Amino acid sequence: MSLEQAKQVAASRAVDEFVTNNCIFGVGSGSTVVYAVQRLAERVETENLKVTCIPTSFQAKQLIVKHNLVLGELDTNPEIDVTIDGADEVDSNLTLIKGGGGCLLQEKIVASCSKKLIVIADYTKDSAKLGDRYKKGIPIEVVPMAYVPIRNKIAALYGGELKLRSAVAKAGPVVTDNGNFILDWLFTNQDLDWETVDRNIKMIPGVVETGLFVKMCHKAYFGHPEGNVVERS
């Protein structure tokens, strides 16, 4: 079984366990969520479910539209029953690194409005400590004019290196769905108190959001190459 199939089994399991008729459903972002939306669309069709989908990114919105699902927004649905989202790394406390695909801000807003945040991932995202397996650092979304002082302040506070994320098919930096830049913080101390770190970084003027999701995740599903799914809650 491939990594893609490992993502798929985790996504299907989560959708089957958490999506119910008439629910308000937060749609995460990234490559694993694609399988969750596919499974949701199958269930909506075969079981005639009524589900309103709240996107966490431009990509998520496109997925909802492509599968003819009902598109909602926080203005009309500020309380979400369950959000299913991917992650770049999940530690033993269910603390997450998110934003590898640049979508952390809307993801965290939607997660904060959700009764439950469920993470779906392949087994390579399952770590004891943040940084064990994901080596690209913690994404931090920042207002463009402030990226240099923010970079210096975080390095002075906690050490490590902060890199302005560069675009691949464009010259210059990645610009998020919200018009901001992303700093990837290559931290060196894996034993930090991530709740405090998250709070302190967010206090720096110009920081919009961090990719640290602390005490937000209700349950994680990790797909394995053998086809089994490991659950953690």
Residues annotated catalytic, as ranges: 107
Footprint (CB under 6 A) of ligand R5P, residues 102-121 = 102-104, 107
Footprint (CB under 6 A) of ligand R5P, residues 42-101 = 85-88, 98-101
How many residues contact ligand R5P, by CB under 6 A?
17
- Name the segment binding ligand R5P (CB under 6 A); options: 27-35, 46-54, 126-134, 185-193: 27-35
Nearest Cα neighbor of 108 from 157, 57, 66 is 57
Q: Which residue is nearest to ligand R5P (CB)?
A: 30
d(CA 150, CA 135): 21
Nearest approach in angstroms of CB 104 to ligand R5P is: 6
Residue 30 interacts with ligand R5P (CB under 6 A): yes or no: yes
Q: What burial letters (b/e) apply to 75-91, b meaning 16+ CB within 10 Å?
A: eebeebbbbbbbbbbbb
d(CA 38, CA 68): 11
Q: Which of 6, 11, 24, 29 binds ligand R5P (CB under 6 A)?
A: 29
Nearest approach in angstroms of CB 14 to ligand R5P is: 12
d(CA 118, CA 110): 12
Specify the DSSP element, H or E, that contains 86.
none
Nearest approach in angstroms of CB 31 to ligand R5P is: 3
